[in-house]
Amino acid sequence: MSKANLLNTRDVNYLDLIGNGKVYRVPPFQRDYSWQEEQWDDLWNDLIDLRSKPIERHYMGALVVEAKTDREFRIIDGQQRMATLTLLALAAIDRLRAMAERGCDADANRQRAQNLRNKFVGEKDPASLVESSKLYLNETDNAFFQDYLVQLRPPRNPRGLPKSNRLLWQCFQFFQRQLTSVSEFTADGEALAKLISETVARQLLFILITVDDELNAYMVFETLNARGLELSSTDLLKNYLFSRVTVLTDLEALQRRWRSLITVVRQERFPEFLRYHLLCEQPKISTQRLFKMVRDRVGTPQEVFDLIEALDAKGELFAALSDPNHGYWTEYPDCRPHIRELNLFGIRQMTPLLFAAWERFSKDAFADVLKLVSVVSFRYSVVGGLNTNVLEPTYHQAAKAVLKGSARTPRDVFLTMRGIYVDDRKFEQDFATLALDTGGQHKRLAKYILCRLEHDATGRPCDPDTDPATIEHILPENPADTWTEMFPKDKWEANVYRLGNLALLEVGSNRDVGNGEYEAKRAAYGRSMYRTTRKIAEDAPEEWTPELLEARQQSMARRAVHVWRSPYVQDNP
């Protein structure tokens, strides 16, 4: 087959898809069949609706296949739909045979059943007379699919079947029940056959995307962004790795290792995990280049197992970096606050550095690196809002320095990433203008900042996750017109979410003062247990103005400079 075209995309109906002797194979270790009644019911309702509108068409989405020959294709994405439509055809064939056995237009219905089987399920080779299937499922499902469903043989013990086999059987039974529930289909074989040969075959359209190798399949998949597709980037990577191993015992061992790894890092996060692993060695790896890099680096069975071994060593840490309550941190409690901060900030680019520091540093030094990364992230991303494109290359260089031994301490690490450490002057300026919408995730961030400032002011623990304080807006979010006397209305919108306008306040007091006048608010602030809140009453005893807000935030910014500061700055002025 010519490989001049790396990618071919066209619209085809289901009959075009499976006609002319075409055969589709699901890779052995691709995901098992997983559709359930919700998906079956949606498909059935669509077909019943289409049946009354013969000129309309219904899109079934993208089907991504790799062309092995002109007639043989490997399904990269779309096996759930292909399997389900085949099961519907089999259910219709079974109903037609049952009608024939009851003597209902027996000869015609037997012929209809055979014609549907030849078109949509499989047919005998004219030379060998061996019946072949048009669809072959994965290693888990294919034997049951071919030996029972394709042959219309009921399993002896359905409850004892593996989950995906059981779902295939239940899908077949679902369509049997639906076909029986339509009175026309129980007595009119022609109407039943037309449901498959016309409605399914000609009115269901697919966007057929044909590629010539795994790399192009991965690029297509990433372009489609996985939205609405059945497969994932993880499946494509897995299929490639498993295709490199041919010995049965090795395949079984790889399957065990793979299941263990995916249980830890989770299916949907595996490409991210793999990319960060490779970023320890490579300076830049886009998601689109990930598959090509794996293909270039991993070609032999030994290289596959070497990669899995390296990933195994990092899997638990990767999972724990997203969860401050992970059991991994039980023996490292000093790490928990910084893991919580990094997750609150939504920062992940530092992962390669943390992989390297965990491998080479003591637990205390690792905790120091975590704290350093949190401070750098807060200054650079949270407050500064600076360009994140430089973060991955910087963290790659730091990780590489740790792994090569040129960075042996947290101080050495800081020196490798000095370029993304925002200096005190700029940080203070940025902090002095910081505003945070207090809805959703930003509410947690605002409380975190206020709690850290309160802790610094008093020395009293103030954990943002457990402290009962609520966030008070000094100038209310919805102020009454009387506020215009001290705070001009044209400045409300620009100032209500400024950090200088936010304070920690007890739940009851916050509820009592609500959107009230400043005099009532000031009295509540003066009674508060929070030192930074009481100071509002001291500094603004009569009114709250834009000037007082500005002065308060400037004061907060000066405090923030030493709250979020690297201890190694003094070593590198």
Domain boundary among 422, 450, 465: 422
Q: Residues 335, 309: one domain? A: no
Q: Residues 449, 314: one domain? A: no
Q: Residues 165, 256: one domain? A: no
| Strands 72-77 and 23-25, sheet pairing | parallel
Q: Residues 154, 196: one domain? A: yes
| Dist CA 573 CA 563 (whole Å) | 18
Within a domain: 2: no
Within a domain: 297: yes
Within a domain: 573: no
| Dist CA 133 CA 121 (whole Å) | 6
* Secondary structure, 3-state, 311-360: HHHHHHHHHHCCCCCCHHHCCCHHHHHHHHHHHHHCCCCCHHHHHHHHHH
Q: Residues 190, 250: one domain? A: no
pLDDT in tens, the chain (573 residues): 344 444 567 889 999 999 888 999 998 878 899 999 999 999 999 999 999 888 888 888 888 888 888 889 998 888 999 999 999 999 999 999 999 999 999 999 999 999 999 999 997 666 655 567 999 999 999 999 999 999 999 999 999 999 999 999 999 999 999 999 988 888 899 999 999 999 999 999 988 888 876 666 666 655 554 444 455 678 778 878 888 888 889 888 998 999 899 999 998 899 999 999 999 988 888 776 788 888 889 999 999 999 999 999 999 999 999 999 999 999 899 999 999 999 999 999 999 999 999 999 999 999 999 999 999 999 999 999 998 889 999 999 999 999 999 999 999 999 999 999 999 999 999 999 999 988 877 899 999 999 999 999 999 999 999 999 999 999 999 998 899 999 999 999 999 999 999 999 998 887 888 778 899 999 999 999 999 999 999 999 999 999 999 999 999 999 999 999 999 986 444
User: What is the domain count for the chain?
Assistant: 4
Q: Residues 102, 196: one domain? A: yes
Q: What is the pLDDT of residue 128?
A: 55
Please report, for residues 81, 219, 256, 333, 381, the alpha-carbon distance to residue 389 in angstroms, rounded to integers and kept in the order given: 39, 22, 37, 31, 11
Within a domain: 568: no
Q: Residues 160, 286: one domain? A: no
| Dist CA 122 CA 14 (whole Å) | 15
Q: Residues 216, 112: one domain? A: yes
Q: Residues 67, 83: one domain? A: yes
Within a domain: 35: yes
Within a domain: 434: no
Q: Residues 371, 395: one domain? A: yes
List of E strands, 357-477: 470-473
What is the C-alpha R_g of the chain? 32
| Dist CA 427 CA 431 (whole Å) | 6
For residue 469, what is the DSSP state? -
Question: Residue 372's closest CA among 421, 324, 428, 405?
Answer: 421
Indicate if the alpha-carbon torsion angle 138, 141, 144, 149 is positive or negative.
negative
Q: Residues 445, 411: one domain? A: no
Domain boundary among 157, 189, 224: 224
Q: What is the pLDDT of residue 127?
A: 61
In a 13 Å sphere around the CA of 391, the CA atoms on its Cβ side amount to 20
Question: Residue 258's closest CA among 276, 275, 248, 270?
Answer: 270
Q: Residues 384, 473: one domain? A: no
Within a domain: 427: no
Within a domain: 429: no
Torsion of Cα atoms, 347 then 349 then 353 then 359, to 10°: 80
Write down the residue that tokens 């970096």 correspond to: 321
Q: Which domain holds residue 248?
A: 232-320
Length of the chain, in residues: 573
Domain boundary among 186, 201, 224: 224
